[in-house]
Amino acid sequence: MTGALWVVGLGPGDESLLAPAARRSLEEAEVVVGYRGYLALVAHLLQGKEVEAYPLGAEMERAQRALTLAASGRRVALVSSGDAGIYGMASLLLELWTEREGGPDVQVVPGVPALAAAAALLGAPLGQDFAVVSLSDILTPWEAIARRLEAAAIADFVIVLYNPRSGRRTWQLQEARRILLKHRSPVTPVGIVRRAYREGQQVRITTLSGLDASQVDMETLVIVGNSQTRAGRGRLVTPRGYRRGR
Amino acid sequence: MTGALWVVGLGPGDESLLAPAARRSLEEAEVVVGYRGYLALVAHLLQGKEVEAYPLGAEMERAQRALTLAASGRRVALVSSGDAGIYGMASLLLELWTEREGGPDVQVVPGVPALAAAAALLGAPLGQDFAVVSLSDILTPWEAIARRLEAAAIADFVIVLYNPRSGRRTWQLQEARRILLKHRSPVTPVGIVRRAYREGQQVRITTLSGLDASQVDMETLVIVGNSQTRAGRGRLVTPRGYRRGR
């Protein structure tokens, strides 16, 4: 008896950015497992299903439970917001799965990641090479995070900051700002997007020196421009270089 | 008279990954402008519309034409594959738009980027911080690209290589490999995904030393693991660290 397991990226939350493949996985699943905050985003698609809603932080429990259910022959969807592969459930789930033998088929269903959603609302800050860094030092030592920030700043990457701040992690964003300011101008444009494509959405454009951590929480993404990023008419743009080349 | 302009990410090409918001933009547009290869992916959605199909490389012409049409009061969709903000048309279009006054409303519609599509087919290689680098030195000097590769390698980012190779750009991927091998083990897992979610899709897992440039073309994405990325059961996984922390 072999079930199926879809690891599904829901996109930012709004149904207009839920890919048809993700919707189909939810429809085909008998059991849907996930963080309760994300399940609430798609509650209307889950009627008549078994739903197993977990609190924040129970990632290991969610992954193991989804694997167990699927191994017992059920069709299971394990959900993340955004893209399931980018700081979502896919890596932990597959880490556990690759250590097993046999067991369910696993398929990762990609979604619109938070970085693409935030960038679209800001304009086009990701027009050149970019680096994606999570400021959460729960799973990664701060020294490794600081080293990546420094390297990305020196090499003039646009930088996308995930998990910039939470109730408990309050100093990391200011420390990141300090590291970036060693290598990048204080007037570097910065975009702050809170609750992209969700109720209460907020989009702000500021500068690296003006970055106010109190406007940032765990539902916020911060995008720091590179040396060529410009702000104009309420948008951020990192030119790709078409006009320089001509 | 003010038209509307949507810069639309089509996702990888398969309709199952075309977001409803992107579909709606195509439906609401009177004129659809884009590279003819991408327009072919959504040909069935364009019936009855004016379609302006351009060859590869005519990005400036496409952006200017879309702006002109929208400024004349038309409803226009300018399309990219993947996400329009990631090496797509959004940055050039907004660069031109921010230098104007007045003119059409512009909205960027995010999509499932190629990096998320390729990663999902490989497993979960993007489970930790990653850097995204285009190897095309048409718009960016190779020195800047090499500097970014070196920085990303040293700081142990997973690295996503866009535009790894084309008919004319044949040496850049081997040179990137050489730079990465200075800092990363020859057995570092590498994923090669060609035509993700399109006809003729190919997914391969190899190592940095085994990376064969002849398997790579302009429709391919290459994802180079970091020091923690593992291959197993035909998948790539970069563990996020949940198990180390316990």
Instruction: Check residue B241 and give its pLDDT.
Output: 83
Separation CA A189–CA A210 (nearest Å) = 9
Separation CA B194–CA B55 (nearest Å) = 21
Query: Does B60 contact A at CB distance below 8 Å?
Result: yes
Query: Does B83 contact A at CB distance below 8 Å?
Result: yes
3-state secondary structure of B167: coil
Asked whether the predicted pLDDT for residue B101 surpasses 90, the reply is no
Would you say the C-alpha torsion A88, A91, A96, A102 has a positive or negative sign?
positive
- Out of A123, A152, A245, the one facing B139 most closely (by C-beta) is A245
Boundaries of CATH 3.30.950.10 in chain A?
115-237
Q: In this predicted model, what pLDDT tens digit does every residue of B102-149 receive, in sequence order?
A: 889 999 999 999 999 999 999 999 999 999 999 999 989 999 999 999
Instruction: Check residue A132 and give its pLDDT.
Output: 98
What average pLDDT does the segment B177-196 reach? 98
| Contacts of residue B93, Cβ cutoff 8 Å, sequence gap at least 6 | A124, B5, B7, B63, B66, B67, B78, B106
Q: What superfamily would CATH give domain A115-237?
A: Tetrapyrrole methylase, C-terminal domain (3.30.950.10)
The model's confidence at residue B245, banded by pLDDT at 50, 70 and 90, is very low
Separation CA B195–CA A165 (nearest Å) = 37
- CATH match for A4-112 among 3.30.1330.20, 3.40.1010.10, 3.40.640.10, 3.40.720.10: 3.40.1010.10
Instruction: Check residue B246 and give its pLDDT.
Output: 40
Query: What residue of A is the nearest CA neighbor of B161?
Result: A129
The model's confidence at residue B28, banded by pLDDT at 50, 70 and 90, is very high
Instruction: Check residue B65 and give its pLDDT.
Output: 97
Q: Which amino acid is it at B233? A: R
Q: In this predicted model, what pLDDT tens digit does every residue of A83-127 receive, in sequence order?
A: 999 999 999 999 999 998 888 999 999 999 999 999 999 999 999
Asked whether the predicted pLDDT for residue A133 surpasses 70, the reply is yes
Instruction: Check residue A2 and give its pLDDT.
Output: 72
Higher pLDDT residue, B30 or A245? B30
Query: What residue of A is the nearest CA neighbor of B85?
Result: A124
Boundaries of CATH 3.40.1010.10 in chain A?
4-112
Backbone dihedral angles phi then psi of residue B54, each to the nearest 5 degrees: -115, 155
Q: In this predicted model, what pLDDT tens digit does every residue of B1-12 receive, in sequence order?
A: 579 999 999 999
Its ipTM equals 0.97
- Out of B110, B129, B157, the one facing A17 most closely (by C-beta) is B110
| Alpha-carbon gap: A9 to the closest alpha carbon of chain B (Å) | 10
On chain A, the residues whose CB falls within 8 A of the CB of B137 are none
Instruction: Check residue A244 and give its pLDDT.
Output: 60
Instruction: Check residue B102 and give its pLDDT.
Output: 84
Instruction: Check residue B244 and give its pLDDT.
Output: 60
Q: Do A132 and B132 lie within an 8 Å CB cutoff?
A: yes
What average pLDDT does the segment B88-103 reach? 93
- Out of B18, B126, B151, the one facing A151 most closely (by C-beta) is B151
Q: Are B221 and B161 in contact (CB under 8 A)?
A: yes
Q: Do B132 and A134 lie within an 8 Å CB cutoff?
A: no
On chain B, the residues whose CB falls within 8 A of the CB of A117 are 110
Query: Does B110 contact A at CB distance below 8 Å?
Result: yes
What average pLDDT does the segment A208-217 reach? 95
Query: Does A198 contact B at CB distance below 8 Å?
Result: no
- Out of B59, B112, B150, the one facing A110 most closely (by C-beta) is B112
- The enclosing H or E element of B151 equals helix B142-154
Q: Do A156 and B134 lie within an 8 Å CB cutoff?
A: no
Separation CA A228–CA B192 (nearest Å) = 30
> Mean pLDDT score of chain A, rounded to an integer?
95
Q: In this predicted model, what pLDDT tens digit does every residue of A23-39 receive, in sequence order?
A: 999 999 999 999 999 99
* Residue A44: half-sphere exposure toward Cβ, Cα within 13 Å: 5
Instruction: Check residue A233 and give its pLDDT.
Output: 95
